[in-house]
Structure 1
Amino acid sequence: MVAGVELTYDTNATAMQMANSIFGNGVTVTGASYSGSNYSSAIYSNGDAVAGNVTPGDTGVILSTGQANRFTNNSSQSNLNTNTSRNTGGDNNDADFNAIAGTSTYDASFMVVDFIPTDSVMTMQFVFGSEEYPEYTNSVYNDAVGVWINGTHVPLSVANGGTPLEAINQSNNINLYNDNTSDQFNTEMDGFTVTMTLTIPVNVGTTNTIKIGIADVSDSSYDSNLLIAANSMQTSIVALDDQVTMQDSVTKNVDVLDNDINNTTGSLTVTHINGNPVVAGQTITLPTGQTVKLLADGTFDITTDSDFETTSFAYEIEATDGSGNVLGTDVGFVTVETIPCFVAGTMIDTVDGPRAVEGLTAGDMVMTRDDGPQPLRWIGRRAMPAIGKMAPIRIRANALGEHGELMVSPLHRVMVKDALAELMFGNTEVLIAAKDLVNDRSIRAVEGGDVEYVHLMFDQHQVIYSEGLATESFLPGPQTTKSFEAEIVEEICTIFPELDLATGEGYGPAARPMLKRYEAEALRKRVA
């Protein structure tokens, strides 16, 4: 528990003053308007001193579905009110917010700003905090943050659209979430994100229009807030997402600065990892158990734990000149994922009939759903203890149609066919990770002993049949050539010379839409 200390709020700030506060280098503001209650917006300041582990910057703009200056309190205890809520005079049923929420919205507070950028990519640093946490997580009451550029909605997500803002909470993507139910942070909100970033495509040298705001969803109860850091809507520095594929309990060096954009005359350095200030040589342990060490050359040594999972964390960079003056900052994300594979003993359909996966060799003709018999190009194997999240998923016979019993790795994707999938994802056939199909009855994790996982790779991503069930082949990610061990990279790239060593591109798309966990859950609920 910490004492409550108020931020400084200017609730009389005009729309132009708020716009000029949050727009920075490489952008000229030409006009601005605000819609919402006059007490639902403010320029806040003194953030570093009184709420540095909450606010995205020392100063900035706050847009609220309630009263902006209730984001903090002035009491002996922070988070004094467990249900901060105010029904405001903000816009109800704004068409844009209703469209992204899929239902009615209330108490909207938003800005519309005209601006002219000097470069084609603009970023925005922000924090989302809400009283909806944790009770209404993953419910119809998750309040909505919306950004539209030139009339087009820009999704607020992590890792190139992989994780939406509403999927960051105490249960999912916990590295990016701060729980405040024990009143350990100086805010009235029961939960809030780490400092996030949004990358926005813009038109250079001409007037662009952006709409930014927040609204209550389904009802007008329980307040939520959007805090935007001062000068963070800029084009001078862009921290682009990184994706890394690793095995468990290993260390991989990752150069996160390599793909970041620096339009300043200064040099880039990493200043924060997941909201924690860092210097070279310091190691941060993530809530999910992985560690990230900042090295003197600006790269990360990422060490995975024994869990089999996909997780993301944030990092912040700044550009400084020779005198140490800060020229700009931005936030990026690193997503660490594991490798899907079969379990030894699984029978794979081939032109010669079912064969054990561990007995296959390069050149064997395997039956595929889309292209008939195809030659196996590469096979990889690895044994490990079947413990915790590394334990295989057992799919009982006929659990997903007519097929035999099989075991696969937790992240190995299984093809699911359903008419609702076409309505939701544009295809009746989708790929879902085995761990997201677990029902603790016909599909469950099995611990104990050792397990050997096997990877099968073809000229392109394929749907093949294992024990009669449609499952995926190995799909190399966009950072494959930077993420795998050197000998594996060399072997794969010798077989697939079309792979671009600089980008990891050149293999081809996924055979079917690959659902994230929250998407799989949504489909299961609709089907149920």
Structure 2
Amino acid sequence: MSIPRLTANAAYSTPVRSIPARPEPSRLPMRHYTNLWLTADGGIEERDQMAPALPLFDAAHSAFARGTLITTTRGPVAVEDLLPGDLLQTSAHGPLPVLWIGRMTLQREDIASRSVKLTRIMAEAFGIARPMADLLVGPGARILTRPRDLRASIGSDHVLSPAHVLADGMHAFGVTPPRAVTFYHLWLRRHALITANGLEVESFHPGAGFERDVGPSMLSLFLSFFPQIREPHQFGPLAHLRLPLDAPDTLSVA
């Protein structure tokens, strides 16, 4: 079996300003996204935007379902109660502020069509309090795993794996909730491991070289979601190796 390509990244630099959005072809299915961000003077701004319902945009807004507890310097806080500027506890870099929060709601028809993959990870699937309660995650979520089967191939004891490849029918399941579900993702000043319901997960990062996979107009639209970002390299390097979000469900990461 071939191993999905793992990503690396370029150096991090400080974001500076926004790029205005450009119209996209109307033939693409569109989705409503909401973005909140921390301004240079410490304020908070919010903006609703429409964009094509493509993996690039969905991944930035669809990691953690409403109700997920994120570990902060104040203790666990429901993801929907977080604001830009709140300090999250990270595994390797200490407390880091949330710079940006992405939010989207998947409607019943989106879920029923199975066009997006939702995964429920059962409480203590990976050990005591990992997670401490069931964790519902969306297509943009990656979980830190220790894949014995891939260790020799990837040269690392840890890899960030998309949640859907963890579904084994016992510890994690693909799910189709009967009602709309709101999801969130969190961007920090550097890619980092944070904790959701006691499980190590990643903060948002679009991936190394993602700009090579989209046209100029789509890239401009995507960057307009991040007012602190001017160029793709300003998302910084990845903290860990990771598997692509479209990794096959049959991949073993146990």
TM-score bucket of the superposed structures, by smaller chain: 0.5 to 0.7
Provide the residue aligned with 2:224 in structure 1: 490
**Does the alignment pair 1:453 with 2:183?**
yes
Kindly provide the amino acid, as one letter, of the partner of residue 393 in structure 1.
T
Could you tell me whether the CA contact under 8 Å between 2:165 and 2:251 is conserved in 1? no
Provide the residue aligned with 1:424 in structure 2: 153
How far apart are the structure 2 equivalents of 1:370 and 1:344?
Answer: 26
Kindly provide the amino acid, as one letter, of the partner of residue 358 in structure 1.
E
- CA deviations over 1:163-218 (Å, ceiling 9, x no partner): xxxxxxxxxxxxxxxxxxxxxxxxxxxxxxxxxxxxxxxxxxxxxxxxxxxxxxxx
Could you tell me whether the CA contact under 8 Å between 2:24 and 2:217 is conserved in 1? no
> TM-score of the superposition, structure 1-length normalised?
0.34
**1:427 to partner: Cα distance:** 1.3
- CA deviations over 1:79-120 (Å, ceiling 9, x no partner): xxxxxxxxxxxxxxxxxxxxxxxxxxxxxxxxxxxxxxxxxx
Unaligned runs of 5+ in 2: 7-22, 32-53
Provide the residue aligned with 2:162 in structure 1: 433
> TM-score of the superposition, structure 2-length normalised?
0.67
Output aligned runs, 1:308-387, within 5 Å. 337=56, 338-339=58-59, 340-385=62-107, 386-387=111-112
How far apart are the structure 2 equivalents of 1:391 and 1:420?
Answer: 24
Q: Secondary structure at the match of 2:103?
A: strand
Could you tell me whether the CA contact under 8 Å between 1:414 and 1:470 is conserved in 2? yes
Provide the residue aligned with 1:397 in structure 2: 123
Kindly provide the amino acid, as one letter, of the partner of residue 172 in structure 2.
I
**1:519 to partner: Cα distance:** 7.5
1:302 to 1:442, Cα distance in 2 relative to 1, 3 A: farther
**1:400 to partner: Cα distance:** 2.3
Could you tell me whether the CA contact under 8 Å between 2:147 and 2:157 is conserved in 1? yes
Could you tell me whether the CA contact under 8 Å between 2:120 and 2:172 is conserved in 1? yes
**1:419 to partner: Cα distance:** 4.9
1:418 to 1:363, Cα distance in 2 relative to 1, 3 A: same
How far apart are the structure 1 equivalents of 2:236 and 2:86?
Answer: 21
Which of 239, 242, 252 does residue 511 from structure 1 map onto?
Answer: 239
How far apart are the structure 2 equivalents of 1:511 and 1:425?
Answer: 15
**1:336 to partner: Cα distance:** 5.7
**1:421 to partner: Cα distance:** 4.2
Could you tell me whether the CA contact under 8 Å between 2:195 and 2:201 is conserved in 1? yes
Could you tell me whether the CA contact under 8 Å between 1:392 and 1:451 is conserved in 2? no
**Does the alignment pair 1:410 with 2:132?**
no
Q: Whose RCO is larger (CA < 8 A, sep 6+)? A: 2
Provide the residue aligned with 1:291 in structure 2: none
1:394 to 1:522, Cα distance in 2 relative to 1, 3 A: closer
- CA deviations over 1:244-280 (Å, ceiling 9, x no partner): xxxxxxx944xxxxxxxxxxxxxxxxxxxxxxxxxxx
**1:370 to partner: Cα distance:** 1.4
Output aligned runs, 1:27-42, within 5 Å. none
How many residue pairs were aligned? Answer: 199
Output aligned runs, 1:105-504, within 5 Å. 252-253=24-25, 303-304=28-29, 337=56, 338-339=58-59, 340-385=62-107, 386-387=111-112, 388-390=114-116, 392-401=118-127, 402-404=130-132, 405-447=134-176, 448-477=178-207, 478-479=210-211, 482-483=217-218, 486=221, 489-492=223-226, 494-496=227-229, 499-500=230-231, 504=232
Q: Which runs of 4+ in 1 moved over 6 A?
A: none
- CA deviations over 1:149-176 (Å, ceiling 9, x no partner): xxxxxxxx99xx57xxxxxxxxxxxxxx
How far apart are the structure 1 equivalents of 2:198 and 2:204?
Answer: 18
Q: Secondary structure at the match of 2:224?
A: helix
How far apart are the structure 2 equivalents of 1:305 and 1:403?
Answer: 33
Could you tell me whether the CA contact under 8 Å between 2:165 and 2:252 is conserved in 1? no
Q: Secondary structure at the match of 1:509?
A: coil
How far apart are the structure 1 equivalents of 2:167 and 2:30?
Answer: 22
1:455 to 1:484, Cα distance in 2 relative to 1, 3 A: farther
How far apart are the structure 1 equivalents of 2:98 and 2:118?
Answer: 23
The structure with the largest alpha-carbon Rg is 1
Q: Secondary structure at the match of 1:377?
A: strand
**1:374 to partner: Cα distance:** 0.5
Provide the residue aligned with 1:10 in structure 2: none
How far apart are the structure 1 equivalents of 2:197 and 2:204?
Answer: 17
How far apart are the structure 1 equivalents of 2:249 and 2:241?
Answer: 11
Provide the residue aligned with 1:214 in structure 2: none
- CA deviations over 1:405-454 (Å, ceiling 9, x no partner): 11110341111024554322111110111111111232112221010011
Could you tell me whether the CA contact under 8 Å between 1:394 and 1:407 is conserved in 2? yes
Could you tell me whether the CA contact under 8 Å between 1:465 and 1:471 is conserved in 2? yes
- Alignment RMSD: 3.3
1:520 to 1:461, Cα distance in 2 relative to 1, 3 A: farther
